[in-house]
Structure 1
Amino acid sequence: MVLTGAVRMSITGYSRRRVLGAVAAGLTTASLSGCGLFDDEPEPPDPPDPLQPLLDEAVALAASYDRAILAQPGLATRLTPLADDHRAHAAELARLIGEPPPSAGPSASAAAGAPAETIATLRTAEQAAQKSAVAACLAAPADRTALVGSIAACRATHAEALR
């Protein structure tokens, strides 16, 4: 429908076109401000990768082995390959996540106690870590399950090697 009649001025002195134009401009500004065009706040950070806890756990396990080796040098032959496995897991997980490889060494306080206690503590840590790796494997997308499943299997093997 085309309106070709004369444009009448309202009581305020503004034409209908002028009022509609102002309303349209206001709506456009409101919609642009809603999309973030005029926002000064930075975008929220991306959520952490779901495999980040697995990476953190691998770094912590390697550090635990390193502390045990410092406290019990006689166990070095038995524990060093296990610590190396965890470092390899951490490096591969960091690559997959897109982070720089972690570089955590043993802390200053070495684990104290008898060798049997040290082995039992490490075995308990491996069993807990294996359970979390299995849970991560079940939740991981298909392109990550092979790596996470391998880590879970390796942790189970470590627990058995520490019997």
Structure 2
Amino acid sequence: MGAAAAGSAALAGCGLLDGEPAPDPAPDPLQPLLDEALALAAAYDRAILAQPALAARLTPMAEDHRAHAAELAKVIGATPPSAAPSASAGAGAAETAATLRKAELAAQKTAVAACKAAPAARAALTGSIAACRATHAEGLR
């Protein structure tokens, strides 16, 4: 067997020429933060539709989450979906705020964990998101 044939056989044995597709890359570690930002923005939008009297208070928080989603998408190279909010079941203003606060606190824990695990280049973004989520939770008291 000639050197070229041996080289081809070696390459075929290592999987380069067997025609199998490469495995999908692992999702970016910031994808959960992006998903949460989109979910939080949607939750605020639903709350605003259900409780128009809370719009002045909740709209800036929803906008913060949309800004976070846009920045996270840019960093990880994703395109965030855009969806129109749908109205949710009618809850009182206090219950709506409590539900949103609970969601913010849970999401803030995710952001803190992401910040601790993030490389330096991403720590400022994840830390900022964690701080914003904590601020929202306090604003919903």
TM-score above 0.5: yes
Distance 1:155 1:104 in 2: 22
- The alpha-carbon deviation at position 30 of structure 1 amounts to 3.5
CA deviation after TM superposition for structure 1 residue 27, in Å: 5.1
Q: Which runs of 5+ in 1 are unaligned?
A: 1-20
Higher helix share: 2
Residue from 10, 13, 17 that aligns with 1:38: 17
TM-score by length of 2: 0.92
Matched with 2:117 is: 139
**How many residues get paired?**
141
Encode CA deviations 1:101-148: one digit per residue, 9 max, x unaligned: 432331x34242111100000000000000000000000010000010
The alignment's C-alpha RMSD in Å is: 1.7
Residue type at the aligned position of 1:89: H
Cα distance in 1 for residues equivalent to 2:18 and 2:137: 53
Shift, 1:37, TM fit: 3.1
Distance (whole Å) between structure 1 residues aligned to residue 4 and residue 69 of structure 2: 55
What is the CA–CA distance in structure 2 between the aligned matches of 1:86 and 1:60, rounded to whole Å?
Answer: 9
2:54 maps to 1:75: yes
* Cross-structure match for 1:118: 96
Per the alignment, residue 105 of structure 2 pairs with 127
CA distance in 1, matches of 2:109, 2:30: 14
Amino acid corresponding to residue 102 of structure 2 in structure 1? T
Cα distance between partner residues in 2 of 1:76 and 1:64: 13
SS at match of 1:84: helix
Name stretches of at least 5 consecutive residues in structure 2 with no aligned partner: none
> Please, what TM-score do these two structures have when normalized by structure 1?
0.80
Identity of aligned residues (%): 71
Counterpart in the other structure of 2:135: 157
Match of 2:28 in 1: 49
Residue-by-residue CA offset, 1:6-58 (whole Å, 9 max, x unaligned): xxxxxxxxxxxxxxx47x77754442112323211111111110000000000
Larger-gyration structure (1/2) = 1
